[in-house]
Amino acid sequence: MPAVVKIDAIHKIYDSGEVPVHAVRGVSLEIQQKEFVALMGASGSGKSTLMNMLGCLDRPTRGSYLLDGVDVAQLDKNELADIRNQKLGFVFQGFNLLARTTALENVELPCLYGKERMSAKKMRERAMHCLDIVGLSNRADHMPNQLSGGQQQRVAIARALVNQPQLLLADEPTGNLDSRTSIEVMGVFQKLNEQGITIVMVTHELDVAHYCKRYLILRDGVVVRDEPTQNRSIAEVELAKLKEAETAAKLLAAGSNAA
């Protein structure tokens, strides 16, 4: 099976300012299907730049990037847009749902820009299916502002899935969530990964990175560590633990009240 991502010595140099900034200095990377990779690093380490290039939002200054066997370093703007639409799914830190647009319509959005024209009915079916995967089919008609943060992020995940992408890219997906909903969202990712979806996730939280199968650490534009996750967390287990702790706290509170 070919690698989903095959990066060979890519560099990114920004020379818009007075001094050229060498954000990524020769990263080589292969990501196979069904991998779940955490991309970590301090701010300024180049992880966002690498993520933008992985997401075909930006092109490397040097080096090659094969996404699903296609060399995307050579594509023009519109071809990149089509690749993003067909092969990639994005999940952002700030959810980035369209305001005053229902969850269902938000999920349908990538279908509007697809190469092939889809009937409204088919679009709806697919969007509903994806909402079902993230467990929100009963919230299809809700506007983003009627949903909790975790629910919004799950709508965003459903949107990322709607065009059946090769690769799911998540940029700090739990950055705006509390620890409990973070675990829930990571649970969704783990479930998707088990179903065979390749995921790359940027995070700076170590405990979140623990849900991934493999983690990379970037520093000053180079990969300084690349190894499988030890003691991987499983969302279901963590949630159960959390529930237990909560119940215990409640019992304790009840006990102290009784006393």
Partner 1 sequence: MRFFITLKMALRALRRNTMRSILTGLGIIIGVAAVIAMVSIGNGAKAQVQAAIASLGDNLVLVGPGNQGQGGGVRSGFGGATTLTAADSDAIVSSFQNAKTAGEGSVIAVSPYVVARSQILANGLNWGTQIYGVSPDFPIIRSWRVASGVFFEDPEVAASAKVAVVGKTIIDNLFPDMDPASVIGQSIRIFGQGGGGDRGDRGGGGGGSGGTPFRIIGVMASKGFSSSQDQDDVIFIPYSSHMKRISRRTYLSTIYVQAKDEDSVIKVKTDVTDLLTQRHNGTVDFTVQDQADITAARTASTDAMTYLLGAIAGVSLLVGGIGIMNIMLVSVTERTREIGIRMALGAHGSDVLTQFLIEAIALSSLGGLVGVALGIGGSIMLGNYKGWPVEPSTSAMIIAVGFSAAVGVFFGYYPARKAAQLDPIDALRYE
Min dist CB 129 to partner 1, Å, is: 18
Q: Is 44 in the site for partner 1 (CB under 8 A)?
A: no
Min dist CB 57 to partner 1, Å, is: 5
Residues 191-230: x where in contact with partner 1 by CB under 8 A, - otherwise, as a string: ----------------------------------------
Residues 97-116: x where in contact with partner 1 by CB under 8 A, - otherwise, as a string: xx-x--------xx-xxx--
Closest to 218 measured CA to CA, from 228, 229, 204:
204
Min dist CB 155 to partner 1, Å, is: 13
Q: Is 52 in the site for partner 1 (CB under 8 A)?
A: yes
Please give the Cα distance from 121 to 98 (Å, whole number): 21
Give the pairing type, strands 214-219 and 222-228: antiparallel
Token pair 């990571």 in the structure block, residue: 186
Closest to 190 measured CA to CA, from 172, 165, 213, 173:
213
Name the DSSP class of 197: -
Closest to 179 measured CA to CA, from 99, 253, 233:
233
Min dist CB 82 to partner 1, Å, is: 6
Phi-psi region of 255 (alpha: psi -120 to 50; beta: other; left: phi over 0): alpha
Structure tokens at 75: 């594509």
Closest to 103 measured CA to CA, from 159, 56, 57:
159
User: Do 53 and 61 form a contact (C-beta atoms < 8 A)?
Assistant: no
Q: What share of the chain is helix, strand, coil (3-state, %, to 5)?
A: 40, 25, 35
Q: Is 176 in the site for partner 1 (CB under 8 A)?
A: no
Among 47, 159, 210, 214, binds partner 1 (CB under 8 A): 159
Structure tokens at 180: 């409990």
For partner 1, the closer CB: 85 or 190: 85
- Strands lying side by side in the sheet with 5-14: 21-31, 5-14, 62-67, 70-71
For partner 1, the closer CB: 57 or 70: 57
For partner 1, the closer CB: 59 or 180: 59
Min dist CB 23 to partner 1, Å, is: 12
Min dist CB 86 to partner 1, Å, is: 7
Structure tokens at 12: 């990114």
Residues 113-132: x where in contact with partner 1 by CB under 8 A, - otherwise, as a string: xx--x---------------
Residues 53-92: x where in contact with partner 1 by CB under 8 A, - otherwise, as a string: --x-xx------------------xx--xx-xxx---x-x
Residues at the contact surface with partner 1, assessed by CB under 8 A: 52, 55, 57-58, 77-78, 81-82, 84-86, 90, 92, 96-98, 100, 109-110, 112-114, 117, 159, 163
